[in-house]
Amino acid sequence: MTPSARLDATFAALADPTRRAILARLAAGEASVTELAKPFAMSQPAISKHLKVLERAGLISRGRDAQRRPRRIETKPLAEVNEWLEGYRRIWEGNFQRLDALLDEMKTQE
């Protein structure tokens, strides 16, 4: 998968509030499908569909603990998003610094 396709998959997965809530729960530690489904008013198959989207995006992985198949969060895709956003943060920061300099210059001219 290309870097662009990975970002697309990550952003598509993060676009849904249920999937973001699942990731927030997994940030606290691994959990089974049943545990992940508890706070939601939806069926276990619906939760499983959300989990498949997160798995395809590489945001979670499935472990094996006897009969349990706990899910855990994977950090690499989120690190890639952070790196992509960091480039834009530097651009915005530069723009704000230039604006601050312009405002300071205007104050001294008054």
Residue with more model confidence, 43 or 74:
74
pLDDT, average across residues 46-61: 96
Options 3.30.70.660, 3.40.50.10860, 1.10.10.10, 3.40.50.1370; CATH of 3-109:
1.10.10.10
Amino acid identity, residue 68? R
pLDDT at 6 over 90: yes
Model confidence band, residue 67 (pLDDT cutoffs 50, 70, 90) = confident
Query: What's the CA gap between 89 and 2, in Å, rounded?
Result: 23
pTM (two decimals): 0.79
**In the structure encoding, which two tokens stand for residue 73, read together?**
């969060």
Contact in structure between 78 and 10 (CB atoms under 8 Å): yes
Quick one: which of 99, 34, 33 has its CA closest to 60?
Answer: 33
> At 61, phi and psi to the nearest 5?
-135, 165
